[in-house]
Amino acid sequence: MEIYQIVAVGIVATVLAILVKNQKPELGIYISLVTGFIIFIFIVAKLQSVIEILNQMANKISIDDIYLSVILKIVGIAYIAEFGAQICKDAGEGVIASKIEFAGKVLIMVMAVPILVSLMDLIINMVP
Amino acid sequence: MEIIREWIMTILSIIIFVTFVEFLLPNNNHRRYINVIIGLMIMLVILRPLTGLVKGGESLAEDILQTSNQMEVMTMQNRVQTLEVNNQETITYLYKENLKSQMKNRLEKQLGYKVLDIEVEIEENNMDEFGMIKGINIVLLDEEKAQEVESNKKIKDVNVMVNVNVSLSEKNNNNVKADSILLDSGGEIIKNDFSSFYQVTEDNINISVLKNK
């Protein structure tokens, strides 16, 4: 069970960070950063397989590929922006974190514009 | 019948997929935007076949790809434009700096003056003659020479306003005007030397010496 490994890594890192924090507070940030990456890498492989299976399913029932890819891309952008912003917030850099969130919002908006344009096109064509 | 079946399948599978994917969403304010976009997308999926009946349009994927490609192209164009402007500015700056250091070396090593500042004005708008020197403004700091000139001409109490160069901007000259005087005898040598070396007319070379206080 991978959840044991992940929780173990998390707890060990937390204990380490608390121990180190008294002597050198800046080391705590490095520990949390590295732990975050380790857990992320653990999970990414699993997530990849899930997404591949979903894609296969989508091909089987022959729905347009574009829907799934757009939704997944948007979720990915949101998730990665959140990940980066959290690390910055932990390190006490709230301003940088808010900038990362802003960039995430803009990129999500960029992804949404083609959908919006086609929807508007559709509505304009429908209404005589 | 086949079209209706496909339509219903698409709507259902997208709704199921979205519900599933919502697990992954982080718990922050991104969720709102994502929900709006998903709502737009479901609206699009539901409305899509209606226009298909009115006019057989091309597939949605093509539409979306076309728009996103258009946006990519525009982004790239903007980036290239910014890069070009930056490049141009850097080239001009480097060219001016190199010219200045070359002139400074020439003045200090060959003619033995101390240089305080050199301003070079070059042709930037006309691409055929890009880089041609339009004007040079030299401020020298030569204590001996300055004292010599001062004692010869007794200009201690005279506020000499010298501004021969018309092409250089007024502001540039104002910086040194109040404290400087035009160098006559040595100036001719520098002017001759510079005008033959850099191909600038002597009228456009402006030389001043910072007055010793």
What pLDDT digit, counting tens, does each position of A86-123 carry? Answer: 888 888 889 999 999 999 999 999 988 988 988 888 88
Average pLDDT over residues A8-13: 94
Domain ranges within chain B, ordered by starting residue:
2-82, 92-210
B positions 37-56 inside 8 Å of A (CB):
37-38, 40-41, 43-45, 47-48, 50-51, 54-55
B57 closest CA partner among A118, A117, A61: A118
Task: Determine whether the interchain pair B61/A78 forms a contact, defined as Cβ–Cβ distance below 8 Å.
Answer: no
- Location of structure tokens 């959290």: A86
**Mean pLDDT across B168-177:** 45
Is residue B52 within 8 Å of B25, Cβ to Cβ? no
What pLDDT is recorded for position A106?
92
pLDDT (0 to 100) of residue B48: 78
Is the pLDDT reported for residue B131 higher than 60?
Answer: yes
Whether the CB-CB separation of A75 and B29 falls below 8 Å is answered with: no
Q: What is the pLDDT of residues B182-194, one digit of tens each?
A: 555 667 777 787 7
With pLDDT > 90 as the criterion, what percentage of chain A qualifies?
22
User: In B34-85, at which residue ranges do the beta strands (DSSP E only) sit?
Assistant: none
Q: With CB atoms and an 8 Å threshold, state whether A75 touches B25.
A: yes
Contact B30 A105 (CB under 8 A): yes
- Contact across the interface for B37 and A111, Cβ inside 8 Å: yes
Angle at A30 (CA atoms; ends A24, A35), nearest 5 degrees: 130
More confidently predicted of B136 and A13? A13
**Residue B176, helix vs strand vs coil:** helix
| Residue range B66-74: mean pLDDT, rounded | 90
Q: How confident is the model at residue A50 (pLDDT cuts 50, 70, 90)?
A: confident
pLDDT score recorded for residue B144: 58
Q: Which of B41, B59, B65 should we substitute to test contact with A (largest number of A Cβ atoms within 10 Å)?
A: B41
The alpha carbon torsion through B63, B69, B73, B78 (nearest 10 deg) reads 90
Of B17, B43, B73, which to mutate for an interface test with A (greatest number of A Cβ within 10 Å)? Answer: B17
Nearest residue in A to B19, CA atom:
A71
Closest Cα of chain B to A108: distance in Å? 8
Q: Which residue in chain B is spatially nearest to A122 when comparing CA positions?
A: B51
| Mean pLDDT over each residue of chain A, to the nearest integer | 87
User: B178 vs A43, B82, B155, B191, B210, CA distance in Å?
Assistant: 72, 40, 13, 22, 9
Question: To probe the interface with B, which of A74, A101, A126 has the most B CB atoms within 10 Å?
Answer: A74
CB B140 within 8 A of CB B113: yes
Rounded to whole angstroms, the Cα distance separating A89 from A26 reads: 14
Residue from the list A58, A70, A104 with its beta carbon closest to the beta carbon of B30: A104
Mean pLDDT of A49-69: 80
Does pLDDT of A57 surpass 50?
Answer: yes
Residue of A nearest to B67 (CA): A114
CA distance A123 to chain B (A): 8
- A63: distance to nearest CA of chain B, Å? 6
Average pLDDT over residues B172-188: 54
How much is the pLDDT for B52?
64
SS3 B137: strand
Pairwise CA distance, residues B138 & B135, whole Å: 10
Are the CB atoms for B111 and B189 separated by under 8 Å?
A: yes
Mean pLDDT (chain B) is: 75
CA distance B46 to chain A (A): 11
pLDDT at position B111 over 50: yes
Lowest mean pLDDT among B47-51, B154-158, B205-209: B154-158
pLDDT at B55: 55
CA distance B25 to chain A (A): 6
Of B38, B50, B67, the CB nearest to A118: B67
Report domain extents, chain A.
Answer: 1-61, 64-128
pLDDT on residue B173: 46
Q: Which tens digit of pLDDT belongs to each residue from B21-58?
A: 788 777 777 888 888 888 888 888 888 777 665 555 56
Q: How far apart are CA A51 and CA A80, in angstroms?
A: 16
- The model's confidence at residue A6, banded by pLDDT at 50, 70 and 90, is very high
